Amino acid sequence: MKGKYHIVVQNNRLRYELTVRRNITIIRGDSATGKTTLINLIEQASALGENSGVDVVCERPCRILSGNDWNLILPYLHGQIIFLDEENQFIKSQEFAAAVKASDNYFVLVTREDLPNLPYSVEEIYGIHTSGKYHDLRRTYNEMYRIYSPDLFTGKVKPDTIVVEDSNSGYEFFRAVCLEHNINCLSAKGKSNLKQAVPSSGEQILVVADGAAIGSEMNELYQMMKTNVRMKCYLPESFEWLILKSGQIDGKVVQNILEQPEDYIDSQKYFSWERFFTAILMENTQNSYLKYSKSKLNEAYLQGKMKQAVLDVMEGICWGKEEEKDRTLLKGL
């Protein structure tokens, strides 16, 4: 399943709107925020049709999945948007994660819990905001908002230490860059180790992780940023996405993909967008000097123009260029 889908769920009192564009979307929120009501409305529409008084408007069928026989039902569902709530304990299981990976459906999971078995994006974690947009009609309008807005990660930062999520090519790249600029570089060796890998000292810390799959760790990282103002996160889709975004990989198709990735990424083939961007980078460099391997960094990516193009994508991060520029200006006075 590919593409972006706008969903409207409404009756004569309530209206919900949500746009999904990846295989996994998370809706969070405390009690009484309308999460369960949304699930109930979709369930009523599925069971009673027009007699339910609920309209579900979407290009794809929307339905609920629940109960002990979920694993028997799911293989027969295709090209649908499936809603599940946290009462279904199986959503935390490895069996469910494997079923999502093999499925050609999109999943909207309504839960307050982190789900480490699933690689969901930091950009696809939503809360529910209630507004009075339909006050005159006595209807409550519930719109979704991103809990971890990109605004949380803006602003300039000159790190003393960079903590990189992985230990592969991405880490090798940042380790080499950090060595040039006298910055400490650490590998967390996996997203689940990020909390333990972040130093407790008072230095400026930058965490670099794959935003496409870091969703389950984001709550802890966010709480850490709230208690440590000198810690920041930079969360691109992936290191491979940074390389593609740099513009150094030829091909109009690549740039088209970066503009609307949801139109190209088959959710059944790629469990997360990170895997897709890795495949695209490997495919587009396999016969060139930039041939990419995730396990071992090609040294061509550490050379002059190529390296700088990747760093330029990372807006707001100071690698020491400002200081060098200031010294050059002072010499000219």
pLDDT in tens, 215-230: 999 989 988 888 888 8
One-letter amino acid identity for 236? P
Mean pLDDT to the nearest integer, 99-119:
94
Whether residue 57 is predicted with pLDDT greater than 80 in this model: the reply is yes
Looking at residue 255, its pLDDT comes to 86
What amino acid occupies position 229?
V
Band (pLDDT 50/70/90 cuts) for residue 30 is: low
CB 63 within 8 A of CB 82: yes
- 219: nearest Cα among 143, 314, 111, 90: 111
Is the pLDDT score of 136 beyond 50? no
% of the chain at pLDDT higher than 90: 65
Of the pLDDT bands very low, low, confident and very high (cuts 50, 70, 90), residue 209 is very high
Q: In sequence order, what are the residues at sequence separation of 6 or more whose Cβ sits closer than 8 angstroms to the Cβ of residue 142? A: 14, 15, 16, 17, 34, 38, 128, 129, 130, 131
The span from the CA of 148 to the CA of 127, in Å, is 10
Q: What is the pLDDT of residue 149?
A: 65
Q: What confidence tens digit (pLDDT) does each residue in 262-305 have?
A: 999 999 999 999 999 999 999 999 989 999 999 999 999 999 89
Name the least confident of 65-69, 105-109, 126-130, 153-157.
153-157
Nearest to 20, CA basis, from 146, 139, 111: 146
With the CA atoms of 191, 260, 15 and 143 taken in that order, what torsion angle do they form, in degrees rounded to the nearest 10?
A: 50
pLDDT in the model for residue 315 = 86
Q: In what order do the strands lie in the sheet with 205-208?
A: 184-187, 161-164, 205-208, 231-234
